[in-house]
Amino acid sequence: MLDEFDLARLGELPQIEITTPQSHGSPVQRGPSVRTVLDAAGAADIRSVRIEGSDPAQTLTAAELTDRVVLSFTKRDTVKLAAADLDRDRWVRDVQTVVVNP
């Protein structure tokens, strides 16, 4: 296990905003990029990550982990995987776990 992050710790990381016109709610998502979280956790040699939450888990390749992929804070005090360049059906609500190289 690399590291664990709660909402407060995620909030201490650098935050970005991305525009997501495909969103069913807010067209702007705000939070740390997944890459920033992985760097803070000490993850290296990333080939892929699996994001697990209340929606079906999604696996993203290293190439998909751009600075436009975030763990966006929600109104329900959770985070969701959101991305400007991913279809809405690949987003994951209530993220609990990020598994490196699943």
Q: What tens digit of pLDDT does each residue of 23-78 get?
A: 888 899 999 999 999 999 999 899 999 999 999 999 999 999 999 999 999 999 99
Least Cα distance to 93 among 102, 75, 101, 84 occurs for: 75
| Distance from C-alpha of 23 to C-alpha of 84, rounded to nearest angstrom | 9
Q: Where are the domains of the chain?
A: 7-100
Greatest Cα pair distance in the chain? 35
pLDDT at 64: 96
pLDDT at 25: 81
Class at the top of the CATH hierarchy for domain 7-100: alpha beta
pLDDT at 102: 63
42 beta partners? none
